[in-house]
Amino acid sequence: MLRLFADGSTVVLQGLHRLWPPLIEFADQLAADLGHPTQVNAYVTPPSSRGFSPHYDVHDVFVLQVAGEKHWTIHEPVLPEPLRSQPWNDRAAEVAAAAEREPVIDAVLRPGDALYLPRGYLHSAVALGQTSAHLTVGVHSVTRWSAVEAALDLVRVLAADDVELRRALPLGVDLADPAALRDDVAAVVGALQGWLGRVDPDRVADRVRGRTWAQVRPEPVAPLAQATAAAALTPDTVLRLRRRLRVSLRPSPAHPAGGDRVTLIGGRRTHEFPATTRPALEALLTAGELEVADLAGLDPADRLTLARRLVTESIVVVADAHVDGSPDGVPATAPEPGPAGPGAPAPDAGGDDGERADALGTGS
* DSSP assignment string, 272-308: EEEGGGHHHHHHHHHHSEEEGGG-TTS-HHHHHHHHH
Q: Which fold has domain 2-139?
A: Jelly Rolls (2.60.120)
Are 212 and 37 in contact by the 8 Å Cβ rule? The answer is: yes
Rounded alpha-carbon distances, angstroms, from residue 297 to 212, 277, 287, 317: 33, 7, 16, 21
Q: What was the pLDDT predicted at 74? A: 97
**What one-letter code names the amino acid at 213?**
W
- CATH of 223-318, picked from 3.90.930.40, 3.40.50.10310, 2.102.10.10, 2.40.50.140, is 3.90.930.40
* Beta-ladder partners of 115: 63
> What are the residue ranges in the chain where pLDDT is below 50?
258, 326-330, 335-364
Domain residue limits, the chain: 2-139, 144-213, 223-318
CA-closest candidate to residue 319, choices 244, 243, 239: 239
Other C-beta atoms within 10 Å of 334: how many?
16
Q: What was the pLDDT predicted at 345? A: 34
CA-closest candidate to residue 137, choices 61, 230, 51: 61
Q: What was the pLDDT predicted at 321? A: 82
* Widest CA span in the chain: 77
Q: What was the pLDDT predicted at 360? A: 30
Rounded alpha-carbon distances, angstroms, from residue 214 to 175, 207, 299, 349: 40, 11, 35, 11
Which strands make up the sheet holding 105-109, listed edge to edge?
Answer: 105-109, 70-75, 122-127
Q: What was the pLDDT predicted at 215? A: 82
Q: Can you give the pTM of this predicted structure?
A: 0.77
Q: What was the pLDDT predicted at 347? A: 35
